[in-house]
Amino acid sequence: MPEPELASTAAGSDAGAAAAGPVPAVASVWSGSTLRELFSYPITGPLFALVVIVLVFSLTTSTFLNAGNLSLILQQSVVVGTLALGQTLVILVSGIDLANGAIMVLATVVIGSYAAHGDPVTALLLGLVVCVAAASLNGLAVTRFRLPPFIATLGMFTILTAAARLYSQSRSFPINSDLITVLGTGPSIGTITITYGSMLWIVLTIVLGYALTQSAWGVRVYAIGNSPIAARLNGINVNAMIFGVYGLAGVFYAFGAWQALGRTPIADPSGYQIANLDSITAVVIGGTSLFGGRGGVAGTFVGALIVVVLKNGLTQAGIDSLYQQIATGFLVMLAVGVDQFLGRGRRA
Amino acid sequence: MNILRNAKCSRQLFARSALMAASLVGVSLYGASVTHAADPVRIGIVELQLSNPFFGKLQQAAVDAAKKHGFETMTAEATVAGDSATQIAAIENMINRQVKGIVVDPANAYALIPVVKKARDAGIFVVTTNTSMDPATSADASYETDNLEAGVLIGKWAKARLGSTAARIAMLDYDLSDKTAKARHDGFLKGFGIDDQSPEIAGTALTMGNVETGQTAMESLLSAHADINVIYTINEPAAQGAFLAIRQAKANVLITSIDGSCSGVRSVADGTIGATVMQFPTKMGEMAVDALAKAIGGGEKPSGVNNSGTILITDHPADGVESKDSKWGLQNCWGE
């Protein structure tokens, strides 16, 4: 019975994305406790975790809970958050992209070096081309050459990291163009600054969330993640869809590169070395299943905030930053553990 | 640059194979001793990851100095920070190739001890650059920046510049298990006349020694402690990142750093960084190879930990701390 299952999955993520709406059909299948029903929404767990973490920091650190710091957290989240949108797409079709940070960094140095002498609009377009081309290569390796996504993108990660260093000769490029750095600016009241980059991140999340939950394309993405065989039997061109998903993720990496240059107006080939892992962490903590087909971008948005809040809060609390890494690690394991638990429940 | 080097490598490889073929013919005609006498003196140079221009400059200086002495060189480098495995394999190959001396920039102060011992047991002189082994006597000698002294210089400078104003210090570190990072951190505190527990320290944060992590760390620290007025940074990219955060927060902070890259000195010239300490990778490489040449030639054996120099670069000199201005700095800096 592939058809009803597809429908219910899409509906479930719809409700999750909107954090409201009717109880999805899939939840009513379980006659368990209401708590369990609540946690059947992929976003409940991450939101709960975020609230707890924010509460703890607010109670222990006097400077954490003020509007200025909260707007700062939003600014610190945009790069990983935007990368994580692309990562969510890839993970929803049971893939993974270890190369997204390297793709973004390559784009930033291409943009930075071109903009040093050339037109900023062309520079940004070049960045977009770099990202979509590199991400499509990932897609090609996964669909056409049947490489496991982990291996294909691990290879791309290594290649592109070196390529960015070679291309830039390990130099960094200061950015002087207002257009390229515009995402780091925005209206401010007192200590609060809501950058255009923060707004863009929210808009991108809403647009992608809408497409995933309200369009036929979105239903297909979830269908492939749930069962590629069932999807194929339902007439979906699975390979073409997966290739498209990887390429589309590249568009988000390009936005990530623009965000990165807005935040830090220097294109630095040694920057964002662990952005790939941070983006995966954000997606997983956000409740998207590494097995594909479950989760969504609203969770990822919250997941990215959790990653950054931990860094920001623990630095402010004066706690050794190695503990921050330990805390993030535990959260990832907890998130995957919950996913496993719920996954078993659904299959039962 | 890497492509060029690879081309050079394959040329060298070809030359070596030709040489080997020639020596094989030599062996069959005259016997081994004759060809051995004709072998050029060869030294090995093992560097850290060349993606960092500092290590690139250091390797180039060592290779140039070796050429000057008429040595043939074998080079190898770690692929990422802390990659001692690649270095160990490279030194093993060099022992097999019967080099007379090795210059190594150890990726880890302990991990290379056994292989360096093996080399020295085989009669090879081993000196380290940039940092030393632990204990330093594991190698014959080391040629490095005295990073503690570098830290002391910026600590003293910051203290003098601050005068009677109460200090609120932020420390933007790199992983303190790294010997260099720890020495710089401790040196700054020593120069400032405080320790890790002193109330003057408002906060510390871990960076990866690049712009992005320097910026994020400083933003979070300033958000918690708006009164920070002095920062120590592990290197100039971290300082440049911190400056972005300080500018956005409209704070007034003395920024101190260490390295002396040309980009860093330019930041001193434009006022972004208050003071930095220059290191001298070229001198380091030359000192190391010159010492090897002396020993291989039968002269004095290299020994001790030798400082390749630390000079404070600032356009705001402070009483009692010797310094040079950014103009001098730009003429003597390394990298881009």
Provide the CA A120 distance to its chain's centre, in angstroms.
Answer: 26
Nearest CA in chain B to A64: B224
At residue A32, the pLDDT reads: 53
Instruction: Say how many CB pairs under 8 Å bridge A and B.
Output: 78
State if pTM tops 0.90: no
What's the pLDDT score for residue B299? 93
User: For residue B288, what pLDDT is reported?
Assistant: 96
Altogether, the residues listed in chain A come to a count of: 348
Query: Cα(A30)–Cα(B64) distance, rounded to whole angstroms?
Result: 74
Alpha carbons A221 and B256: distance in angstroms, whole number: 51
The position carrying tokens 């990653």 is A307
pLDDT digits (tens, 9 = 90+) for B165-223: 999 999 999 988 888 899 999 999 999 999 999 999 999 999 989 999 999 999 999 99
CA distance A272 to chain B (A): 7
Q: How many residues comprise chain B?
A: 336
**pLDDT tens digit string along B244-268?**
999 999 999 999 999 999 999 999 9
Return the percentage of chain A with pLDDT > 70, whole number: 85
A71-99 mean pLDDT: 96
DSSP, collapsed to helix, strand or coil, labels residue B173 as: strand
Contact A315 B205 (CB under 8 A): yes
DSSP A293: S
pLDDT for res B17? 53
Element (H, E) at B57: helix B53-68
pLDDT at res. B16: 53
Identify whether the C-beta of residue A48 lies closer than 8 Å to the C-beta of residue B199: no
- pLDDT mean across residues, chain A: 86
- Given this model, what pLDDT does residue B53 score? 81
Nearest C-alpha in B relative to A323: B206
B227 touches chain A (CB under 8 A): no
Q: Determine, for residues B237 and A63 on separate chains, whether the beta-carbon distance falls below 8 Å.
A: no
Quick one: pLDDT band at residue A315, thresholds 50, 70, 90?
Answer: confident
Q: Which residue of A has its CA nearest to B55?
A: A170
The CA distance from A86 to A279, in Å, is: 9
Quick check: A208 pLDDT over 60? Answer: yes
DSSP state of B41: P
What pLDDT is attached to residue A6? 40
Please indicate if any CB of chain B lies within 8 Å of the CB of A272: yes
Residue B244 and residue A265: Cβ atoms within 8 Å?
yes
Domains of chain A: total: 1
d(CA B168, CA B335): 32
CATH 3.40.50.2300 boundaries in chain B: 40-145+281-302, 147-278+311-332
Helix (H) / strand (E) containing A233: helix A228-233
Residue A335 has pLDDT above 80, yes or no: no
Q: Residue A12, exposed/middle/buried by CB under 10 A (0-12, 13-18, 19+)?
A: buried
The residues near B22 (Cβ < 8 Å, ≥ 6 apart) are none
Alpha-carbon gap: B247 to the closest alpha carbon of chain A (Å):
12
- Candidates B53, B203, B241; nearest CB to A318: B203
Domain membership of residue A155 as a residue range: 2-347
Place A33 in a pLDDT band, splitting at 50, 70 and 90: low
- Classify domain B40-145+281-302 by CATH number: 3.40.50.2300
Share of chain B above pLDDT 90, in %: 74
Give per-residue pLDDT as tens, A247-284: 999 999 999 999 999 999 999 888 898 899 999 999 99
Rounded to an integer, what distance in angstroms lies between the CA atom of residue A310 and that of residue A89? 24
| Inter-chain residue contact B241 with A68, CB threshold 8 Å | no
CA–CA dist A81, A75 (Å, integer): 10
In the structure, how many helices (H) and strands (E) does chain A have?
15, 4
Cis peptide before A24 (omega within 30 of 0): no
Are B211 and A172 an interchain contact pair (Cβ–Cβ within 8 Å)? yes
The alpha carbon of residue A125 is apart from the nearest alpha carbon of chain B, in Å, by 23
Residues of chain B above pLDDT 70, percent: 89
Give buried/exposed letters for B268-305 (b at 16+ CB in 10 A, else e): bbeebbbbbbbbbbbbbbbbbbbbbbebbeeeeebeee
Residue ranges in chain B modelled with pLDDT below 70: 1-38
- Would you state the CATH architecture of domain B147-278+311-332? 3-Layer(aba) Sandwich (3.40)
Q: What's the CA gap between A194 and A176, in Å, rounded?
A: 21
> What does the alpha-carbon distance between residue A152 and residue B319 come to, in Å, rounded to a whole number?
58
Mean pLDDT to the nearest integer, A47-62: 89
- Of A260 and A329, the one with more pLDDT: A260
Quick check: B195 contacting A, CB < 8 Å? no
Residue A20: band (very low, low, confident or very high) from pLDDT cuts 50, 70, 90: very low
Whether chain B has a CB inside 8 Å of the CB on A311: the answer is: yes
The sign one gets for the Cα dihedral B82, B83, B88, B90 is negative
Q: Shortest Cα distance from A81 to chain B (angstroms)?
A: 15
Tell whether the model's pLDDT for residue A16 goes beyond 70: no
Per-residue pLDDT of A238-255, as tens digits, reads 999 999 999 999 999 999
Q: Is A270 on the interface with B (CB under 8 A)?
A: yes
Q: What does the pLDDT read at residue B18?
A: 52
How far apart, in whole angstroms, are the C-alpha atoms of residue A120 and residue B126? 51
Helix, strand, coil tally for chain A in percent (to 5): 75, 0, 25
Burial A105-121 (b: 16+ CB within 10 A, else e): bbbbbbbbbbbeeeebe
- Counting Cα atoms < 13 Å in the Cβ hemisphere of A210 gives 6
Residues in B touching A166 (Cβ below 8 Å)? 1-3
